[in-house]
Structure 1
Amino acid sequence: MTKVKICGLSAPDEVVSAVEAGSDYIGFVFAASRRQVSLKQAQSLAQLVPEKVKKVGVFVSPSYEMLEEYIKAVPLDMVQIHGDFKDMSSKTLSVPVIRALQVKDELTVPAGQSDYLLLDAPVAGSGQTFDWTKLQNKTFSSPFFIAGGLTADNVSQAIRLFHPFAVDVSSGVESNGRKDAEKIRLFVERVKA
């Protein structure tokens, strides 16, 4: 069954809603964005997440040292890396890595540690889908997440098209810039149906 990651959680009620709805992964964004949380916030929110739900830290072009600091401090079960990660080919992290790729014209998977891929829109967090036809007849050696513009209305189609390991949503379960418990519930329900 396809797994669900609810990303960009920044308040206790959002975390509780995502957990109660049946999310498999919770994403805390540490990169600069309107959904960014501090290390201290993430530590507090992580206490609301049961062990069966994995905590994922989302970073843009981080250093190896920063990743390991946050992995231990929150603690995180996985990290999701956007942008460059110069240490990726020479150092192994202590948790699994989700490597985010923007689907544009040509999709290149970078070398180095990558336990999962995350296929996202050209502008991450924009709420826009990428051109789904660009992935027709593509195969990947790693399990992958589909992200970018997913909502309860289109997630079933994305699952039928791609058969992903997991789907990842942020803006698609928001109302007025905040996570919406009913939208989260409906999204998870559609994925698990």
Structure 2
Amino acid sequence: MADPLIIKICGIKTLDMLDATIAAGADMVGFMHFQRSPRHVTIEEIGSLISAARGRIETCVVLVNPDNSCVAEVAALGPDWIQLHGPESPHRVEAIRAEAGVEIMKALPIGSAEDVAHVADFVDIADRILVDAKPPKGADRPGGLGETFDWSLLKALDPSIAFMLSGGLTPQTVAEAIKTVRPFGVDVSSGVESAPGVKDQRMIEAFIRNARAAV
């Protein structure tokens, strides 16, 4: 039997939506600490969310090119994961992992065969790899920004590399993505929102239901 699919709902901002996401059967929730994001939450808010989630679901704090003081501040809250979503080098990822003492997920934007080739640089350094769509040129923040990428690029990836898939997934596309790409997990943010930063409980439930049915 295959391992169960890991489903991460990212960009949770409120305790109510945290509870709804847990009730819907997600495995992980992500909290975004990056001011340019419509999903940004403060350190104080993240602390409350992590406390409410502890023992119920795995928590992940998403950071973009954080400095050491930000890493220390977040690590002190006791999340299960820190997700690095900026242009961090393998050396920097290694340093953050050592300093934080928290498992590290590294998001890697995929837009070309060259991007796929770089994934291997992080495999032994990060605890988990998340492949995401490359942001459009001139975007003011990283991430897929609701766009998918050409999944066929991932055929060039070493099959021994396990990864989670992100980038433009929705309740309508997640089943096809899982069947095509065969990731061990999926991550969604804008694809389960009614407006930027506003999660929709019914969309979260549909996303999880459709993802589970595809495995």
Q: TM-score, normalized by length of structure 2?
A: 0.82
Identity %: 33
Q: How far is 1:40 from its partner?
A: 0.4
What secondary structure does 1:45 align onto? helix
Partner of 1:10: 13
The runs of 4+ residues in structure 1 deviating greater than 6 Å are none
Letter in 1 for 2:93: M
Q: How far is 1:69 from its partner?
A: 2.3
Q: How does 1:78-157 map to 2 (within 5 A)?
A: 78-85=81-88, 87-90=92-95, 92=98, 93-105=100-112, 106-107=114-115, 108-109=118-119, 110-111=121-122, 113-123=125-135, 124-139=143-158, 141-157=160-176
**Structure 1: 5+ residue stretches without partners:** none
Of 51, 54, 59 in structure 1, the residue corresponding to residue 55 of structure 2 is 51
RMSD of Structure 2 on Structure 1 (CA): 1.8
Q: Following the alignment from structure 1 to structure 2, what is the Cα–Cα distance between the partners of residues 184 and 15? A: 11
Instruction: Specify which structure has the higher proportion of helix.
Output: 2
**Of 110-119 and 176-185, the range deviating more from structure 2:** 110-119
The 8 Å contact of residues 125 and 170 in structure 1, kept in 2 or not, is answered as no
Q: Following the alignment from structure 1 to structure 2, what is the Cα–Cα distance between the partners of residues 180 and 89? A: 36
The 8 Å contact of residues 144 and 166 in structure 2, kept in 1 or not, is answered as no
Of 73, 82, 96 in structure 2, the residue corresponding to residue 69 of structure 1 is 73
Q: Following the alignment from structure 2 to structure 1, what is the Cα–Cα distance between the partners of residues 27 and 205? A: 13
Higher relative contact order (CA 8 A, sep 6+): 1
Q: TM-score, normalized by length of structure 1?
A: 0.91
Q: Following the alignment from structure 2 to structure 1, what is the Cα–Cα distance between the partners of residues 179 and 132? A: 17
Letter in 2 for 1:153: Q
Q: Following the alignment from structure 2 to structure 1, what is the Cα–Cα distance between the partners of residues 208 and 7? A: 7
For these two proteins, the number of residue pairs brought into alignment is: 192
